[in-house]
Every structure is written in C-alpha cells, then in structure tokens.
Structure 1
Amino acid sequence: MNNKLILSLCAATAISISGCTTIADMAGADSATLNSNATLGFNKTVQEARANKTLDTTSATYKKVNAAFIRLKPYADQMNQTGQRFDWQLAVLKSDQINAYVAPGGKVVFYTGIVNRLNLSEAEVAAVMGHEMTHALEEHSKQKLGAQALTNLAVNIGKSYAGSQIGELGNAAIDLGSQVGVGLPYSRSLESRADEGGLMMMAKAGYNPQAAITLWEKMAKQGGAQGSALLSTHPSDANRINAMKKNLAAAMAVYNARGGK
C-alpha cells in the first residue's frame, strides 16, 4: 500500500490507535526503531545546539525545567507500557519560540521561550512536560504518523511551519520535532488522553494539578501569536480547559493523598 495512503487512512478514518500502530510496525516504524531514530536525532540536535551556542545548561530557566524533569521521570517510567525502556534525556534550547515536545524513547526538548514568555512556574512546566511525556509514552506520534514516521513527508511539513526558525536552531531540532507530529496535529481524543495523563503524572510527582489549568489559560491567551509553535499542534480553547477541569478532581485526590507536596 502507498505510504501516503496509509497515513491518510490513519489520520482520516476511524482506525483505532492499535490499528495505526500495527500499520506503523508493519512498515518498519516499530517502537524500537522509532526510539533509536529519535535518539540519533536528539544527539544531533544537542550537537548543533552546542555549536550554535543555543544549548542552555546553566540558566534559571534550565534549572526550573530540569527540576520538573527529574521529579517526573520515575512516574513516567511507571506509565511506560510500550515494551521498550525509555532513556530519558533533556535538552533546553535558547529560543523565543513557545514550544516543547518529547520524542520517542524519552527525548525531551524545551525551548526557553515557553517558560520565559509565559512566565511559567515549575508546576506549570511540569504540566507541559507531563502532557508531552504522555504523548510519547502512549506512542501517539506512531499512531498519527503511521508508516510516514521519520520520513521526508513529516520532515518537510515540520520545516514548512518552522520557516526562519531553522536558521536559529539548526535543522536537527526541526527534524526531531517532525518525528513527534509537528505540522500534523494530534487528534482531539489524543490531546484529551495526554491532558489526563499529564494531570495524573504531575499529581503523583507532587505538583498541584491546578497549575495545568493556569498553563493552558496562558496558552489560550497567546492565540496565534508569532512563535507559538506548540499551539500549531496543540490547540488550546475553552472546551479543552473545561474538559481538563472535569478530570481535575481525580488528580487533586492523588495530589492531596501525598499531603499536597
């Protein structure tokens, strides 16, 4: 079957998540391969960022993101049912873009713009990270991209929206982002799953889940602002926020059971 047709079927028909991931497996985009390719892309991203002096390893923003990363990792591992061990790694890139993603296998990429421009607290950073970790742990990119994962179609779409930002961050960061569906927005159902999973993950790690609501309220105010790359694939609106509020009670129960810390 033509690869573009496979992608269209996964995106446009009522095929289940398991159905599309099976198609991806058959086309050579199995979990181990996706994770391996993401590792290569992540390593190249870090190398380019070092060369371009856009890799942040010391600022207050980096420390805030890293603190959330360290606290969430054990609970992310508890959620992992992919059959593949995730080798969690973090890269914080200096950029005004409002963006963050987690590539297959646990490669976390945060742009400083999402923290600084939205003035995120550590708990709000954890809300972003938990959401993106859930996408990776449930292999949503695999279901979304199907047989086209890691191919030029995804790469070209990612570059087309990134435009002039390629020169700032280097091709590797754009290519790695393409592997998680940049330019191919997740469906509403997958976004809801990531919202719910992220809420529970941050609650287990001792972050107040209410920070997820304030996060997406801040994101909603950004609207179509230039540099809001995350919003191109993660639409934020009143319906979404209201849906998250419905899941808040369960997450708060987990948080409060920890003594609120």
Structure 2
Amino acid sequence: MKALILSLAALIFLTGCQESPTGRNRLALVPDAVLADMGQQNFEQMKQQNALITRPDVNRLVQCITEALVVAAQTEYPEAPMPQSWKVAVFDNPTPNAFALPGGKIGVHSGLLEIAENQAQLATVVGHEIAHVLADHGNERLTQELGLQAGMLLIGLFTESEIAEDQIQQALGIGAQLGITLPFSRAHEEEADLMGLGIMARAGFEPDQSVRLWQNMARASGAQPLEFLSTHPNHDTRIASLQNQLAAARSVFETVPPANCQI
C-alpha cells in the first residue's frame, strides 16, 4: 500500500497541472473508466437502498430538464469529456439537495422540488450537477485525497518518534483539511455554479431564476457554518457570484428558444 501511494505521489509531481473547462489549474489523475464504474456501482446501490419517486409526471419533468441541459452543455463546453449516456433518478428524500456521480449519474431529492418554484430553478441545480461531471470534480477530489494520504505517509516514513508522527499527522490532517481540501471543494462549487449558469441559459432557462433559487435555499436552511469551515460557499457569496455573471448569461438566454418542460 505504501509503495502504491508513493508511486501516486511521484506521478502527481511528474504529471503537472491540467485545466478545467473554465481554465482553472487542477490535477485529475484517476482513469475515467475507473471513475465511471465507481459512479455506476454507487448509483445502483443508492437506488436499491433508498426509496424512489415513481410518479410519471415528476420523472418526466426532471428527465426533460436534464436532457435539455445536457444538449446545452455539449454546445457550451464542446471540448469537455461527455459521458456516453446520462441517468437521473428522483429520490424520496425531504432534504433540498441533488448530487452527481462520475459517468453521468444524477440524483435529485424530492425536497428540492418543494424549494424550486419553477422549471428554471430546478434547472439551476441540475445544471450545477452536470457541471460537476463535465469539470471532472470527482476525479480531482479523489486525486487530491490520495495525494494527501501520500504526504502523510512520507512524513511518517521520515519521522523516528511514533509520538511525534502522531502529532504531526494530526496537525497535518487539520491543516490539510482547512488549507487544501475545503477550499478546493469551494472552488469546485463556485466553478459548477458558473458553468451551470451558462448551461441553463444556453438551454433556454431564465438565468435570473438561479439567484431566486439560492435565495429560497437561504431562507430554508437558516444559519450556516462559517464559510472557511464549509465545503460550500455561503449563500450570500454564492448569490453575489451568480449576480456578477447574470449579464453574460442573459445575453445567451436571449438568443435561444425558451425551454418548455412543464408537464
């Protein structure tokens, strides 16, 4: 195991940075086929272990929105690797949430349908999840986690005292979490927000509804943890960032036919 982690560390140093679809430097070294298999297995397991919404009208709505966004994503980010197929499921879960897995698997919680007041607000979240997949954020997070483990292992190898090793690893774990893992996760969220905004506008969903959706989320969630201790931007930061990009998104929205997924 140590040899594997050290080999990965060497590979990270030798490979250098890649670019995300927005031009952000990143490392994503896990083979796509491996991640796609992991995503498929986890998605099937989640569907077996959690109740699904079977109402045809709800599933048609979510499927229609997803299909429109995927087509728009191909236009907006033609160079980004695109899964061969996309699957979406609606889970019977009251939390207003959604998630994306590598390989084009998207889950939507029924609680999100209560928060989203219209199809454009629902498209805000689904577009955000599609952006996570296109930007390969799952790969980047896994590469990052393996890199942190390699760093901790290297410190352990060169530390003679077991007590010192424990203390250093605990300190590095805290430092790594606050200094690396969480900020990168916020960077992923911010990138997915802005990519998702462009995708929903290209698909014909009113981009201003993205801000209204997060305002609804803010009212529903109440107090949030301090931003530097959270993997997600706080609502005010997220809303301000989206508002700064609305003019560009509106200019795209005005050139395409309005989406129509009302079923």
The TM-score by the shorter chain falls in which range? Answer: 0.5 to 0.7
How far apart in 2 are the matches of 1:218 and 1:120? 9
Superposed, 1:226-241 pairs within 5 Å as 233-241=231-239
What is the CA distance between 1:70 and its match in structure 2? 2.1
What is the CA distance between 1:77 and its match in structure 2? 3.4
How far apart in 2 are the matches of 1:185 and 1:113? 27
Q: Which runs of 5+ in 2 are unaligned?
A: 20-24, 147-180, 225-229
Match of 1:207 in 2: 205
Deviations 1:114-140, CA, capped at 9 Å, x for gaps? 212x14311111000111110111011
% same residue: 30
How far apart in 1 are the matches of 2:144 and 2:232? 22
Answer yes or no: is the 8 Å Cα contact 1:61–1:112 preserved in 2: no
Number of equivalenced pairs: 207
How far apart in 2 are the matches of 1:88 and 1:240? 27
Superposed, 1:1-261 pairs within 5 Å as 3=5, 19-21=26-28, 25=29, 29-49=30-50, 54-58=51-55, 60-78=57-75, 79=77, 81-83=79-81, 85-116=83-114, 118-146=115-143, 148=145, 187-223=185-221, 233-261=231-259
How far apart in 2 are the matches of 1:260 and 1:93? 28
Q: Which runs of 5+ in 1 are unaligned?
A: 150-182, 227-231
Report which of the two structures shows the higher radius of gyration computed on alpha carbons.
2
- Per the alignment, do residues 30 and 224 of structure 1 end up closer, same or farther by CA in structure 2, a change over 3 Å counting? farther
The more displaced of 125-134 and 136-145 is 136-145
Letter of the structure 1 residue corresponding to residue 246 of structure 2: L
How far apart in 2 are the matches of 1:139 and 1:125? 22
- Per the alignment, do residues 186 and 95 of structure 1 end up closer, same or farther by CA in structure 2, a change over 3 Å counting? farther
Normalised to the residue count of structure 1, the TM-score between the two structures is 0.68
Answer yes or no: is the 8 Å Cα contact 1:100–1:111 preserved in 2: yes
How far apart in 1 are the matches of 2:64 and 2:84? 19
What is the CA distance between 1:260 and its match in structure 2? 4.8
How far apart in 2 are the matches of 1:129 and 1:31? 22
What is the CA distance between 1:112 and its match in structure 2? 0.3
What is the CA distance between 1:148 and its match in structure 2? 4.2
- Per the alignment, do residues 145 and 253 of structure 1 end up closer, same or farther by CA in structure 2, a change over 3 Å counting? same
